[in-house]
Amino acid sequence: MDLALLRTFVTVHRAGSFTRAAALLGLSQPAVTSQIRTLERQLGRPLFLRQARGVTPTTIGDELAHKAAPHLDALVEIAEAGLDEDSSVRTLHLAGPPEFTAERALPTLTALTGADGQGFALRASFGNAEEVLEGLAAGHHDLAITTARPRGALLTATPLCDEEHVLVAAPRWAARIGPGKLRRKGALTVENLPVVEVHESLPLVARYWAAVFDSRPAAAGAVIVPDLRAVLACVIQGAGLAVLPRYLCAPALERCEVVALLDPAVPPLRTYFLVVRTGTLAMPHIARAHEWLLRAAVDWA
């Protein structure tokens, strides 16, 4: 059996789409379709059921994927190791949201970059959930951190930790907006209350209002900046209120630079996931980073 056909088959199985598999393999969609048909003729059985959106593996297709994929992944690892014969250090390509990656992931993983014989070089890039998952699927990253759980078999996600969101403002705003001045449904009593956010749609504030008040906030963005660290800096300077992850604003809360406006019984949470391409945890440097982050996340809680 041609290994190229098996490689195409496993990619389609993981991607759940001929179109997606073609992009990952650098082939045309007709070429991928032709290879799958050739493999089906050789086996005498259909491997996929064609649907309006993508494909679904048959029982035979699932069985073949589970048998073939680990061996193909091992061959890829051997080939990649061969490319690195002149270097004893592998490179881990990490991607994730800028704030969480900078404040949590990178400080944790830098401990693994030392020259202890098991370390690796580290390259990091930032992006939103859609960007990092697309880059991971395309092979640009080895490990991704995201708040979106990917669908399909191409990527494997493991829950990493939950992030608590806190409604905060500078003390001078807190004196005007205190909990008693927030109506039961979350409508703000302060006219034209300024909000500091990462996007014009106020995603964090809107999510907080939906979870705590079951309503939409009656507020408009005063400062929009696509980095939560910059949002915090603006809030400290009195630009308005914001919803921030507790890990990020905890030092400012302790120093009384900002004040938590509410203390809901069930605070809004957002889950982070560690995501890899299915099968790549067989590679030692990816597996080590994956395990190290999961262990560190226990203390983050």
Bridge partners of 163, per DSSP, are: 270
State the DSSP string of 169-190.
E-HHHHHHH-GGGB-TT--BSS
Q: Do 150 and 167 belong to one domain?
A: no
Direct distance between the N- and C-terminal alpha carbons of the chain, in angstroms, rounded to an integer: 49
Q: Do 216 and 263 belong to one domain?
A: yes
Q: Do 170 and 230 belong to one domain?
A: yes
pLDDT at res. 186:
47
Q: Do 69 and 201 belong to one domain?
A: no
- Taking the C-alpha atoms of residue 177 and residue 161, their distance in angstroms, rounded to an integer, is 31
Residue 62: which CATH number?
A: 1.10.10.10
Q: Do 76 and 14 belong to one domain?
A: yes
Residue 108: which CATH number?
A: 3.40.190.10
- For residue 262, what is the DSSP state? -
Residue 19 domain boundaries: 3-82
- Number of C-beta neighbours around residue 288 at 10 A: 18
Output the pTM of the full model.
0.71
Q: Do 43 and 112 belong to one domain?
A: no
Q: Please check whether residue 135 is in contact with residue 24, taking contact to mean a CB–CB distance below 8 angstroms.
A: no
- Taking the C-alpha atoms of residue 62 and residue 153, their distance in angstroms, rounded to an integer, is 11
Q: Do 121 and 157 belong to one domain?
A: yes
Spell out the alpha helix ranges (H) of 16-114.
18-25, 29-43, 59-83, 98-100, 106-109
Domains identified in the chain, total number: 3
- Number of C-beta neighbours around residue 183 at 10 A: 12
Q: Do 199 and 72 belong to one domain?
A: no
Per-residue tens of pLDDT for the chain, all 301 residues? 677 788 889 888 888 888 888 877 777 888 889 989 999 999 999 999 988 778 999 999 999 988 888 887 777 666 555 555 444 568 899 999 999 999 999 999 988 886 554 578 899 999 999 999 988 888 889 999 999 998 877 888 999 999 999 999 999 888 777 555 554 444 444 345 789 999 988 999 999 999 988 888 777 678 999 999 999 999 999 999 999 999 999 999 999 999 999 888 888 999 999 999 887 887 888 988 999 999 999 988 7
| Residue 247 dihedral angles phi and psi, to the nearest 5° | -60, -30
Give, in degrees to the nearest 5, the angle at Cα 47 between 46 and 53: 105
Q: Do 36 and 14 belong to one domain?
A: yes
Q: Do 210 and 72 belong to one domain?
A: no
pLDDT at res. 189:
41
Which residue, among 136, 74, 131, has the nearest Cα to 290 in the 3D structure?
Answer: 136
Q: Do 167 and 155 belong to one domain?
A: no
Structural domain ending residue among the three candidates 82, 104, 134: 82
pLDDT at res. 86:
47
pLDDT at res. 190:
39
Segment (H or E) for 195? strand 194-197
Q: Do 255 and 245 belong to one domain?
A: yes
- For residue 151, what is the DSSP state? P
Q: Please check whether residue 29 is in contact with residue 15, taking contact to mean a CB–CB distance below 8 angstroms.
A: no
